[in-house]
Amino acid sequence: MAVAGAVLRQNLPGNMDLCGKTGKGVPEFHVLAVDDSIVDRKVIEKLLRSLSCKVTVVDSGSRALQFLGLDGENSSVGFDALKVNLIMTDYSMPGMTGYELLKKIKGSSAFREIPVVIMSSERILARINRCLEEGAEEFLSKPVKFSDVERLTRYLLRGEADEVSEFGKRKLPKNCDLEVSSPSSPSSDDSSSSLCSYSRSSSPLPKRCKSV
Amino acid sequence: MELGLMQRRLEDYTKSLFMEGLLDAQFLQLQQLQDESNPGFVGEVVSLFFDDSEKLLNELTSAMDQQIVDFRKVDSYVHQFKGSSSSIGAQRIKNVCILFRKYIEEQNIEACLRCLQQVKQEYYHVKSKLETLFRVTSLLNPIVLKENLKHPLGTDSLSNLCQWLDYFANTSLLL
Protein backbone atom coordinates (compact mmCIF):
# COMPACT_ATOMS: atom_id res chain seq x y z
CA MET A 1 0.00 0.00 0.00
CA ALA A 2 3.06 2.22 -0.17
CA VAL A 3 1.91 4.20 -3.19
CA ALA A 4 -1.64 4.82 -2.12
CA GLY A 5 -0.43 5.49 1.38
CA ALA A 6 2.10 8.03 0.18
CA VAL A 7 -0.51 9.91 -1.77
CA LEU A 8 -3.23 9.90 0.81
CA ARG A 9 -1.09 10.17 3.86
CA GLN A 10 -1.40 13.36 5.79
CA ASN A 11 1.51 14.46 7.84
CA LEU A 12 1.36 13.00 11.26
CA PRO A 13 1.83 15.61 13.94
CA GLY A 14 5.38 16.47 14.75
CA ASN A 15 6.93 15.34 17.98
CA MET A 16 5.69 11.81 17.64
CA ASP A 17 7.82 10.69 20.46
CA LEU A 18 5.28 11.45 23.16
CA CYS A 19 5.56 8.25 25.07
CA GLY A 20 9.03 7.36 24.53
CA LYS A 21 12.64 7.85 24.69
CA THR A 22 13.87 11.37 24.44
CA GLY A 23 17.39 10.13 24.32
CA LYS A 24 17.94 11.54 27.77
CA GLY A 25 17.29 8.32 29.60
CA VAL A 26 13.53 8.89 29.95
CA PRO A 27 11.92 5.46 30.16
CA GLU A 28 9.32 4.23 27.71
CA PHE A 29 5.70 4.15 28.80
CA HIS A 30 4.22 0.72 28.94
CA VAL A 31 0.63 0.25 27.87
CA LEU A 32 -1.36 -2.91 28.41
CA ALA A 33 -4.07 -3.28 25.76
CA VAL A 34 -6.91 -5.76 26.07
CA ASP A 35 -9.20 -6.70 23.17
CA ASP A 36 -10.78 -9.92 22.00
CA SER A 37 -10.72 -8.81 18.35
CA ILE A 38 -7.56 -9.76 16.50
CA VAL A 39 -8.00 -6.87 14.05
CA ASP A 40 -8.39 -4.33 16.85
CA ARG A 41 -5.40 -5.74 18.71
CA LYS A 42 -3.24 -5.24 15.64
CA VAL A 43 -4.44 -1.68 15.15
CA ILE A 44 -4.16 -0.55 18.78
CA GLU A 45 -0.70 -2.06 19.02
CA LYS A 46 0.43 -0.14 15.96
CA LEU A 47 -1.18 3.08 17.20
CA LEU A 48 0.67 2.83 20.48
CA ARG A 49 3.96 1.75 18.94
CA SER A 50 3.80 4.71 16.56
CA LEU A 51 3.75 6.87 19.69
CA SER A 52 6.86 5.03 20.90
CA CYS A 53 5.09 3.22 23.71
CA LYS A 54 6.01 -0.22 24.84
CA VAL A 55 2.90 -2.33 24.28
CA THR A 56 1.64 -5.59 25.69
CA VAL A 57 -1.51 -6.82 24.00
CA VAL A 58 -3.70 -9.59 25.37
CA ASP A 59 -6.94 -11.07 24.15
CA SER A 60 -9.01 -11.23 27.33
CA GLY A 61 -9.59 -9.78 30.76
CA SER A 62 -8.40 -12.95 32.42
CA ARG A 63 -5.12 -12.83 30.50
CA ALA A 64 -4.74 -9.20 31.51
CA LEU A 65 -5.16 -10.18 35.16
CA GLN A 66 -2.72 -13.01 34.66
CA PHE A 67 -0.19 -10.59 33.25
CA LEU A 68 -0.65 -8.26 36.18
CA GLY A 69 -0.48 -11.11 38.65
CA LEU A 70 -4.02 -10.46 39.86
CA ASP A 71 -5.48 -13.77 38.84
CA GLY A 72 -5.29 -15.30 42.28
CA GLU A 73 -2.75 -17.87 41.18
CA ASN A 74 0.44 -17.92 43.13
CA SER A 75 2.37 -16.81 40.09
CA SER A 76 5.06 -14.30 40.77
CA VAL A 77 4.30 -10.95 39.23
CA GLY A 78 6.47 -10.42 36.19
CA PHE A 79 8.80 -7.48 36.37
CA ASP A 80 7.07 -6.11 33.30
CA ALA A 81 3.69 -5.96 34.99
CA LEU A 82 4.96 -3.69 37.73
CA LYS A 83 5.69 -0.98 35.22
CA VAL A 84 2.37 -0.70 33.38
CA ASN A 85 1.51 2.97 32.96
CA LEU A 86 -1.86 2.68 31.25
CA ILE A 87 -4.44 0.02 30.58
CA MET A 88 -6.71 0.25 27.55
CA THR A 89 -9.47 -2.26 27.35
CA ASP A 90 -12.36 -3.09 25.07
CA TYR A 91 -15.72 -3.12 26.81
CA SER A 92 -17.53 -6.00 25.13
CA MET A 93 -15.50 -9.15 25.52
CA PRO A 94 -16.64 -12.71 26.12
CA GLY A 95 -15.95 -14.00 29.60
CA MET A 96 -14.92 -10.89 31.45
CA THR A 97 -16.12 -7.53 30.16
CA GLY A 98 -13.91 -4.45 30.22
CA TYR A 99 -16.07 -3.14 33.04
CA GLU A 100 -15.44 -6.24 35.15
CA LEU A 101 -11.73 -5.95 34.43
CA LEU A 102 -11.85 -2.30 35.45
CA LYS A 103 -13.43 -3.20 38.77
CA LYS A 104 -10.80 -5.83 39.49
CA ILE A 105 -8.01 -3.39 38.73
CA LYS A 106 -9.51 -0.61 40.80
CA GLY A 107 -10.05 -3.11 43.58
CA SER A 108 -6.37 -3.94 43.77
CA SER A 109 -4.03 -1.92 45.94
CA ALA A 110 -1.11 -2.57 43.64
CA PHE A 111 -2.79 -1.46 40.42
CA ARG A 112 -5.66 0.85 41.31
CA GLU A 113 -3.60 3.93 40.51
CA ILE A 114 -3.02 2.87 36.93
CA PRO A 115 -5.30 4.82 34.59
CA VAL A 116 -7.77 2.61 32.75
CA VAL A 117 -9.40 3.60 29.48
CA ILE A 118 -12.42 1.78 28.09
CA MET A 119 -13.01 1.41 24.36
CA SER A 120 -16.35 0.58 22.83
CA SER A 121 -18.15 0.76 19.51
CA GLU A 122 -21.42 1.37 21.33
CA ARG A 123 -22.08 4.73 22.92
CA ILE A 124 -24.53 3.69 25.59
CA LEU A 125 -24.71 6.46 28.15
CA ALA A 126 -25.50 4.20 31.08
CA ARG A 127 -22.47 2.10 30.21
CA ILE A 128 -20.19 5.13 29.90
CA ASN A 129 -21.46 6.50 33.19
CA ARG A 130 -20.96 3.21 34.96
CA CYS A 131 -17.36 2.96 33.74
CA LEU A 132 -16.47 6.50 34.68
CA GLU A 133 -18.01 6.01 38.11
CA GLU A 134 -15.97 2.89 38.61
CA GLY A 135 -12.85 4.93 37.99
CA ALA A 136 -12.15 4.73 34.27
CA GLU A 137 -10.24 7.76 33.06
CA GLU A 138 -11.86 7.89 29.70
CA PHE A 139 -14.26 6.14 27.41
CA LEU A 140 -13.12 6.04 23.79
CA SER A 141 -15.43 5.37 20.88
CA LYS A 142 -14.33 2.74 18.42
CA PRO A 143 -12.89 2.68 15.87
CA VAL A 144 -10.07 4.26 17.83
CA LYS A 145 -8.13 6.88 15.91
CA PHE A 146 -4.57 8.03 16.16
CA SER A 147 -5.65 11.43 17.46
CA ASP A 148 -7.59 9.80 20.33
CA VAL A 149 -4.63 7.79 21.47
CA GLU A 150 -2.19 10.61 20.97
CA ARG A 151 -4.28 12.98 23.08
CA LEU A 152 -4.74 10.32 25.71
CA THR A 153 -1.09 9.49 26.04
CA ARG A 154 -0.26 13.16 26.18
CA TYR A 155 -2.36 13.88 29.24
CA LEU A 156 -2.32 10.54 30.97
CA LEU A 157 1.29 9.70 30.55
CA ARG A 158 2.91 13.08 30.48
CA GLY A 159 0.55 14.66 32.98
CA GLU A 160 -0.31 17.59 30.76
CA ALA A 161 -3.35 18.63 32.70
CA ASP A 162 -5.21 20.96 30.37
CA GLU A 163 -6.71 18.29 28.19
CA VAL A 164 -10.37 17.46 28.41
CA SER A 165 -12.16 14.79 26.56
CA GLU A 166 -15.66 13.97 25.54
CA PHE A 167 -16.22 11.32 28.12
CA GLY A 168 -13.37 11.71 30.54
CA LYS A 169 -12.76 13.42 33.77
CA ARG A 170 -11.39 16.89 33.61
CA LYS A 171 -7.93 17.01 34.97
CA LEU A 172 -7.91 19.87 37.42
CA PRO A 173 -4.83 21.79 38.41
CA LYS A 174 -3.49 20.65 41.75
CA ASN A 175 -4.70 23.62 43.77
CA CYS A 176 -8.33 23.18 42.76
CA ASP A 177 -11.13 21.69 44.75
CA LEU A 178 -12.60 18.58 43.20
CA GLU A 179 -16.12 19.83 43.92
CA VAL A 180 -15.79 22.97 41.82
CA SER A 181 -18.52 22.84 39.23
CA SER A 182 -17.25 25.25 36.64
CA PRO A 183 -14.15 24.92 34.54
CA SER A 184 -11.31 26.34 36.50
CA SER A 185 -8.27 25.94 34.35
CA PRO A 186 -6.75 29.39 33.88
CA SER A 187 -5.74 28.56 30.36
CA SER A 188 -9.20 27.59 29.17
CA ASP A 189 -10.49 29.54 26.27
CA ASP A 190 -13.79 31.18 27.10
CA SER A 191 -14.87 31.50 23.54
CA SER A 192 -14.87 27.77 22.93
CA SER A 193 -17.24 25.35 24.55
CA SER A 194 -15.68 23.43 27.37
CA LEU A 195 -16.74 20.61 29.55
CA CYS A 196 -18.04 21.14 32.98
CA SER A 197 -15.83 19.41 35.44
CA TYR A 198 -16.94 16.06 36.63
CA SER A 199 -16.27 14.73 40.03
CA ARG A 200 -16.43 11.06 40.81
CA SER A 201 -18.95 11.53 43.57
CA SER A 202 -21.69 12.83 41.33
CA SER A 203 -23.31 10.81 38.63
CA PRO A 204 -24.30 13.23 35.84
CA LEU A 205 -22.38 12.70 32.67
CA PRO A 206 -20.20 15.59 31.60
CA LYS A 207 -21.91 17.48 28.82
CA ARG A 208 -20.47 20.01 26.47
CA CYS A 209 -21.40 23.38 27.88
CA LYS A 210 -20.23 26.90 27.59
CA SER A 211 -18.12 28.14 30.44
CA VAL A 212 -20.13 30.49 32.58
CA MET B 1 7.06 8.28 -16.53
CA GLU B 2 5.25 4.98 -17.01
CA LEU B 3 5.52 4.18 -13.35
CA GLY B 4 4.17 7.63 -12.50
CA LEU B 5 1.11 7.09 -14.63
CA MET B 6 0.49 3.67 -13.18
CA GLN B 7 0.75 5.19 -9.74
CA ARG B 8 -1.84 7.77 -10.68
CA ARG B 9 -4.13 5.06 -12.00
CA LEU B 10 -3.69 3.27 -8.71
CA GLU B 11 -4.58 6.43 -6.82
CA ASP B 12 -7.70 6.82 -8.95
CA TYR B 13 -8.64 3.24 -8.23
CA THR B 14 -8.17 3.74 -4.52
CA LYS B 15 -10.14 6.97 -4.65
CA SER B 16 -12.99 5.21 -6.39
CA LEU B 17 -13.26 2.77 -3.47
CA PHE B 18 -13.81 5.73 -1.18
CA MET B 19 -16.25 7.39 -3.59
CA GLU B 20 -18.32 4.20 -3.81
CA GLY B 21 -18.53 4.16 -0.03
CA LEU B 22 -16.71 0.85 0.18
CA LEU B 23 -14.06 2.38 2.37
CA ASP B 24 -14.22 5.22 4.87
CA ALA B 25 -11.85 7.44 6.82
CA GLN B 26 -10.75 4.62 9.10
CA PHE B 27 -8.95 3.03 6.14
CA LEU B 28 -7.05 6.29 5.74
CA GLN B 29 -6.05 6.03 9.40
CA LEU B 30 -4.48 2.67 8.69
CA GLN B 31 -2.63 4.04 5.68
CA GLN B 32 -1.31 6.90 7.78
CA LEU B 33 0.02 4.45 10.34
CA GLN B 34 1.99 2.58 7.69
CA ASP B 35 5.60 3.63 7.45
CA GLU B 36 9.05 2.43 6.45
CA SER B 37 9.42 0.42 9.64
CA ASN B 38 6.28 -1.54 8.76
CA PRO B 39 5.52 -1.11 5.05
CA GLY B 40 3.15 -4.08 5.01
CA PHE B 41 0.97 -2.88 7.87
CA VAL B 42 -2.26 -2.20 5.98
CA GLY B 43 -1.94 -5.47 4.10
CA GLU B 44 -1.40 -7.33 7.37
CA VAL B 45 -4.42 -5.84 9.07
CA VAL B 46 -6.62 -6.50 6.06
CA SER B 47 -5.31 -10.03 5.84
CA LEU B 48 -6.21 -10.62 9.49
CA PHE B 49 -9.62 -9.16 8.74
CA PHE B 50 -10.15 -11.58 5.86
CA ASP B 51 -9.19 -14.62 7.95
CA ASP B 52 -11.31 -13.47 10.87
CA SER B 53 -14.27 -12.67 8.64
CA GLU B 54 -14.27 -16.05 6.89
CA LYS B 55 -14.55 -17.73 10.28
CA LEU B 56 -17.24 -15.35 11.45
CA LEU B 57 -19.31 -15.77 8.30
CA ASN B 58 -19.13 -19.55 8.64
CA GLU B 59 -20.27 -19.38 12.26
CA LEU B 60 -22.99 -16.92 11.36
CA THR B 61 -24.29 -19.06 8.50
CA SER B 62 -24.32 -22.10 10.73
CA ALA B 63 -26.10 -20.23 13.54
CA MET B 64 -28.77 -18.93 11.15
CA ASP B 65 -29.19 -22.43 9.79
CA GLN B 66 -30.34 -23.93 13.07
CA GLN B 67 -33.90 -25.17 13.58
CA ILE B 68 -34.21 -22.78 16.48
CA VAL B 69 -32.11 -19.71 15.91
CA ASP B 70 -30.14 -18.51 18.90
CA PHE B 71 -30.47 -14.79 18.33
CA ARG B 72 -28.06 -13.87 21.10
CA LYS B 73 -25.35 -15.90 19.43
CA VAL B 74 -26.17 -14.44 16.03
CA ASP B 75 -26.08 -10.96 17.50
CA SER B 76 -22.70 -11.60 19.03
CA TYR B 77 -21.26 -12.65 15.65
CA VAL B 78 -22.78 -9.67 13.85
CA HIS B 79 -21.50 -7.34 16.56
CA GLN B 80 -18.00 -8.74 16.09
CA PHE B 81 -18.22 -8.38 12.34
CA LYS B 82 -19.49 -4.83 12.67
CA GLY B 83 -16.52 -4.08 14.93
CA SER B 84 -13.83 -5.54 12.75
CA SER B 85 -15.20 -4.11 9.51
CA SER B 86 -15.47 -0.70 11.14
CA SER B 87 -11.87 -0.99 12.34
CA ILE B 88 -10.55 -1.36 8.83
CA GLY B 89 -12.96 1.15 7.33
CA ALA B 90 -15.12 -1.32 5.41
CA GLN B 91 -18.10 0.98 5.59
CA ARG B 92 -20.69 -0.93 3.60
CA ILE B 93 -20.18 -4.11 5.59
CA LYS B 94 -20.51 -2.13 8.79
CA ASN B 95 -23.76 -0.53 7.61
CA VAL B 96 -25.31 -3.87 6.73
CA CYS B 97 -24.33 -5.17 10.17
CA ILE B 98 -26.12 -2.25 11.80
CA LEU B 99 -29.28 -3.10 9.88
CA PHE B 100 -28.79 -6.79 10.61
CA ARG B 101 -28.73 -6.12 14.35
CA LYS B 102 -32.01 -4.27 14.12
CA TYR B 103 -33.66 -7.34 12.57
CA ILE B 104 -32.02 -9.59 15.14
CA GLU B 105 -33.60 -7.50 17.84
CA GLU B 106 -36.98 -7.93 16.14
CA GLN B 107 -36.23 -11.62 15.72
CA ASN B 108 -37.25 -11.29 12.11
CA ILE B 109 -35.74 -14.41 10.58
CA GLU B 110 -36.58 -13.59 6.97
CA ALA B 111 -34.99 -10.18 7.18
CA CYS B 112 -32.00 -11.66 8.99
CA LEU B 113 -31.44 -14.18 6.23
CA ARG B 114 -31.56 -11.37 3.69
CA CYS B 115 -29.02 -9.44 5.72
CA LEU B 116 -26.79 -12.47 5.90
CA GLN B 117 -26.85 -12.68 2.11
CA GLN B 118 -26.18 -8.99 1.79
CA VAL B 119 -23.34 -8.94 4.28
CA LYS B 120 -21.65 -11.78 2.42
CA GLN B 121 -22.02 -9.95 -0.88
CA GLU B 122 -20.56 -6.78 0.57
CA TYR B 123 -17.73 -8.73 2.13
CA TYR B 124 -16.74 -10.53 -1.09
CA HIS B 125 -17.07 -7.30 -3.03
CA VAL B 126 -14.69 -5.33 -0.81
CA LYS B 127 -12.37 -8.31 -0.49
CA SER B 128 -12.00 -8.54 -4.24
CA LYS B 129 -11.36 -4.80 -4.57
CA LEU B 130 -8.78 -4.76 -1.81
CA GLU B 131 -7.01 -7.83 -3.14
CA THR B 132 -6.70 -6.15 -6.52
CA LEU B 133 -5.42 -3.02 -4.86
CA PHE B 134 -2.73 -4.84 -2.91
CA ARG B 135 -1.69 -6.97 -5.83
CA VAL B 136 -1.27 -4.05 -8.18
CA THR B 137 0.50 -2.02 -5.51
CA SER B 138 3.00 -4.78 -4.96
CA LEU B 139 3.46 -5.19 -8.70
CA LEU B 140 4.38 -1.53 -8.96
CA ASN B 141 7.31 -2.15 -6.72
CA PRO B 142 10.06 -2.35 -9.40
CA ILE B 143 11.87 -5.16 -7.67
CA VAL B 144 8.71 -7.26 -7.44
CA LEU B 145 7.92 -6.42 -11.04
CA LYS B 146 11.31 -7.61 -12.17
CA GLU B 147 10.92 -10.84 -10.23
CA ASN B 148 7.42 -11.50 -11.54
CA LEU B 149 8.57 -11.17 -15.12
CA LYS B 150 10.93 -14.03 -14.42
CA HIS B 151 8.46 -16.33 -12.73
CA PRO B 152 4.92 -17.31 -13.71
CA LEU B 153 2.19 -15.57 -11.75
CA GLY B 154 -0.90 -17.27 -10.36
CA THR B 155 -3.81 -17.20 -12.80
CA ASP B 156 -5.88 -14.59 -11.00
CA SER B 157 -2.97 -12.23 -10.41
CA LEU B 158 -2.08 -12.79 -14.03
CA SER B 159 -5.52 -11.78 -15.23
CA ASN B 160 -5.42 -8.65 -13.06
CA LEU B 161 -1.98 -7.81 -14.37
CA CYS B 162 -3.21 -8.37 -17.91
CA GLN B 163 -6.05 -5.91 -17.36
CA TRP B 164 -3.57 -3.30 -16.24
CA LEU B 165 -1.17 -4.08 -19.05
CA ASP B 166 -3.99 -3.84 -21.60
CA TYR B 167 -4.87 -0.48 -20.21
CA PHE B 168 -1.33 0.73 -20.60
CA ALA B 169 -0.93 -0.87 -24.01
CA ASN B 170 -3.96 1.12 -25.13
CA THR B 171 -2.44 4.31 -23.84
CA SER B 172 0.75 3.55 -25.78
CA LEU B 173 2.95 3.04 -22.81
CA LEU B 174 5.70 0.53 -22.77
CA LEU B 175 6.53 -1.37 -19.64
- A140-152: pLDDT as tens digits: 999 999 999 999 8
Tell me the residue range of the domain where B16 lies: 3-170
| Strand (E) or helix (H) holding B128 | helix B109-140
Q: How much is the average pLDDT of B147-158?
A: 49
Q: Is residue B19 part of a domain?
A: yes
- A73-99: pLDDT as tens digits: 655 556 666 689 999 999 999 999 999
CB atoms within 10 A of CB B128: 11
* Structure confidence at residue B175 (pLDDT): 34
Buried residues in A146-179 as b, exposed as e (16+ CB within 10 A): bebbbbbbbbbbeeeeebbbebbbbbbeeeeeee
**Quick one: closest CA in B to A5, which residue?**
B31
Residues of A in contact with B79 (CB under 8 A): 92, 121
Of A198, A199, A196, A172, give the one whose Cα is nearest residue A186: A172
Residues of A in contact with B45 (CB under 8 A): 39, 42-43, 46
Instruction: For residue A143, say if its preceding peptide bond is cis, omega within 30 degrees of 0.
Output: yes
Could you please report the per-residue DSSP string of A150-178?
HHHHHHHHS--TT---SSS-----TTS-T
> Does the model's pTM come out above 0.80?
no
Sheet holding A30-34, edge to edge: A54-58, A30-34, A86-90, A116-120, A138-141
Q: Is residue B121 part of a domain?
A: yes
Q: Is residue B39 part of a domain?
A: yes
This complex has an ipTM of 0.81
Which of the pair, A211 or B53, is modelled with greater confidence?
Answer: B53
d(CA B104, CA B112): 6
Does B21 reach chain A within 8 Å, measured CB to CB?
no
Q: How much is the average pLDDT of A5-34?
A: 58
Contact B49 A39 (CB under 8 A): yes
Q: How buried is A136 (Cβ within 10 angstroms: 0-12 exposed, 13-18 middle, 19+ buried)? A: buried
Of A177, A185, A178, A182, give the one whose Cα is nearest residue A196: A182
Q: Is residue B57 part of a domain?
A: yes
* Structure confidence at residue A154 (pLDDT): 84
- A153-197: pLDDT as tens digits: 887 776 655 455 556 654 444 443 433 334 444 444 433 333 332
- B11-41: pLDDT as tens digits: 899 999 999 999 999 999 999 999 888 888 9
Q: Is residue B83 part of a domain?
A: yes
A–B CB contacts, 8 A cutoff, strictly below:
91
The domain spanning residue B43 has which CATH number? 1.20.120.160
* Structure confidence at residue B123 (pLDDT): 98
Of A25, A204, A3, A114, give the one whose Cα is nearest residue B138: A3
CB atoms within 10 A of CB B32: 18
Q: How much is the average pLDDT of A197-204?
A: 34
Q: How much is the average pLDDT of B39-61?
A: 96
Domain count of the fold of chain B:
1
d(CA B136, CA B12): 13
- B90-102: pLDDT as tens digits: 999 999 999 999 9
Q: Is residue B175 part of a domain?
A: no
- B100-137: pLDDT as tens digits: 999 999 999 999 999 999 999 999 999 999 999 998 88
Given B48, B86, B137, which is nearest A4 (Cβ)?
A: B137
Q: Is residue B82 part of a domain?
A: yes
